Structure 1
């Protein structure tokens, strides 16, 4: 018989032990935290308002036609606006925009002064931004997989990017 140390722990429902041989949710989360990704802000105009959130689950999908893919939590406040609007922008953040990433990760209201003059809510100072129309949406577990057709690409300033690694925003330097 193998002796194991007793570890005191309070577990939430999501953290209950998985049956032997199955993937542990904590192990999956920890492994995903090792994946380094860029940081972007997904924004949707909803009439006179703009709803935005920080995303790291973003990737290019196709060059011809120009398509991108972003994953949005099914519980995200932005999702109904995205479904209604049928369009969105993705602004890629620079390393000095960490504060913006943190505020939109907490889903604070988008600063209306930033986008008041723009039809498509692009963050000023971003490295680049893509203006997209929703091409398709698919269920993906607890997220919605959104495929966007890129209508316009805006190239911003030349600066180092902000990245996300091990649950923290970091720089490449």
Structure 2
């Protein structure tokens, strides 16, 4: 299992001249938690926005994700999961570095065994309904940051940071 060569705190300290955004913890109790076996991960961002429909998440994670992290704006829904073990296994098979979900995951014990970085707000056993709804490669806003495909994201147990350019070799 690969460990990313960074700590988000150090990225901020080592690059004070860079425009680095930090995802802020929410006052309403919504904090990102780590679910995958990779506790530190990063890469080039691919964005998807979907609400209670993981069709686009499944489609994207079935494509080559070498060096990439899928960032999903699920509208902070706590009613269903946008990724489970089967989709997470597809992400590993297709070489994704990680997935960050502003929403929920499921099958957390199985995901914890996978060589994949996964951060989400919570876990819930209910799956989403697939209706082919969702937008990809669009600007996302949550946690006090704006995220676009092509930027770089780095996540660990200290938090999540977004940069316009790569800060480390992954």
Q: TM-score normalised to the size of structure 1?
A: 0.23
Q: Per residue, is there more strand in 1 or in 2?
A: 1
Q: TM-score normalised to the size of structure 2?
A: 0.23
Higher relative contact order (CA 8 A, sep 6+): 2
Q: Per residue, is there more helix in 1 or in 2?
A: 1
